């Protein structure tokens, strides 16, 4: 039987700590602690760029069960591309506090608080802050880019369109999708556990309020979050500056893997888009 809590109620501890290795390699960074609106302490890092004319600041959001350590490489790519970068463990992940991962119900305002905090830093270059969200981070990012927000634009990689759709995928994989009342029972148990209706987690619905440039990227062979979900989210965005990139052959975890035939090109398009956004500021 599928665990009805697994998608949302877990605390994911880090599998490694790279602080000493970064120091040994001479990679400049500094701690970047965040306090959420409900008083949780989130663990993060700030990476400055040495680019002579920085394009702005970039907040990078990791995926479900991952953590800041998993997107340090992305932060390094960002600093090389001319962006100051921030990564952090989402609530209930890594070294951050919290017991519930809510896929954007709480994480949306967390990301916006991180953006506000990094904008307070006295840094060279453009003052705009952008977002790069991956998987769960992409879905949280869609919600964080909507409405009144400190973000000026962003990149959403393999996002899901709604949490309910992810429940459907989980049930289908476990052979339970067609059994009567199973989905209703799972949603009820999750709501009883976390205290809110997870059907309210609808990034595609939030995307209707995105009025800033967004690049949505999805692998054509993604089975974890099928590409149709990325299209559904993209189609909801009203801003004419939006772009969609479907990467042929890419799965869920290898969109930016440079050992693939597409990884380097996909990564280049991320920063070309973000630099284009920065030039508009």
Q: What is the pLDDT of residues 204-240, one digit of tens each?
A: 999 999 999 999 999 999 999 999 999 999 999 999 9
Buried b (16+ CB within 10 A) or exposed e, 54-73: bbbbbbbbbbbebbbbbbbe
Q: Which CATH number do you get for residue 208?
A: 3.40.50.1820
- What gap in Å lies between CA 71 and CA 90, rounded to an integer? 12
Inside any domain, residue 198 = yes
Q: Tell me: the pLDDT tens digits for 245-266?
A: 999 999 999 999 999 999 999 9
Inside any domain, residue 232 = yes
The count of structural domains within the chain is 1
Q: Tell me: the pLDDT tens digits for 66-113?
A: 889 889 999 999 999 999 999 999 998 988 998 888 888 899 999 999
141 and 154 Cβ atoms separated by less than 8 Å:
yes
Inside any domain, residue 193 = yes
In whole numbers, what is the pLDDT of the chain averaged over residues?
Answer: 88
Secondary structure, 3-state, 205-226:
HHHHHCCCCEEEEEECCCCCCC
User: Mean pLDDT throughout 254-280?
Assistant: 96
Domain extent for 132: 19-280
Inside any domain, residue 12 = no
Inside any domain, residue 100 = yes
Tallying the residues shown for the chain, one arrives at 281
For position 23, what pLDDT does the model report? 58
- What gap in Å lies between CA 117 and CA 132, rounded to an integer? 16
- H/E element, 166: helix 163-173
Inside any domain, residue 273 = yes
User: Mean pLDDT throughout 187-207?
Assistant: 85
3-class SS shares of the chain: helix, strand, coil, % to 5: 35, 15, 45
- What gap in Å lies between CA 145 and CA 59, rounded to an integer? 12
Inside any domain, residue 50 = yes
pLDDT at 41 over 90: yes
For position 2, what pLDDT does the model report? 38
Inside any domain, residue 96 = yes
């Amino acid at each position: 039987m599928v665990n009805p809590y697994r998608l949302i109620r877990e605390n994911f501890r880090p599998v490694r700590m790279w602080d000493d290795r970064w120091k040994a390699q001479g990679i400049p960074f500094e701690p970047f602690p965040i306090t959420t609106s409900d008083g949780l302490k989130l663990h993060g890092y700030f990476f400055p760029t040495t680019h002579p004319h920085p394009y702005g600041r970039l907040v990078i959001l990791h995926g479900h069960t991952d953590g800041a350590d998993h997107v340090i490489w992305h932060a390094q790519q960002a600093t090389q591309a001319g962006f100051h970068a921030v990564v952090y463990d989402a609530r209930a992940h890594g070294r951050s506090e919290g017991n519930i991962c809510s896929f954007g119900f709480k994480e949306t305002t967390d990301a916006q608080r991180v953006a506000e905090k990094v904008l307070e830093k006295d840094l060279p270059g453009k003052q705009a802050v952008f977002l790069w969200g991956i998987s769960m981070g992409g879905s949280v990012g869609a919600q964080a880019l909507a409405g009144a927000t400190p973000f000026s634009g962003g990149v959403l990689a393999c996002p899901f369109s709604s949490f309910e759709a992810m429940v459907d995928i989980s049930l289908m994989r476990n052979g339970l999708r067609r059994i009567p009342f199973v989905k209703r029972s799972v949603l009820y148990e999750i709501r009883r556990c976390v205290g809110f209706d997870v059907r309210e987690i609808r990034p595609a619905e939030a995307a209707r309020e995105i009025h800033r440039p967004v690049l949505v990227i999805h692998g054509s062979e993604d089975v974890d979050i099928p590409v149709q979900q990325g299209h559904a989210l993209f189609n909801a965005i009203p801003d004419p500056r939006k772009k969609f990139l479907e990467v042929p052959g890419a799965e869920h975890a290898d969109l930016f893997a440079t050992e693939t035939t597409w990884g380097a090109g996909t990564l280049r398009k991320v920063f070309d888009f973000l630099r284009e956004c920065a030039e508009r500021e």
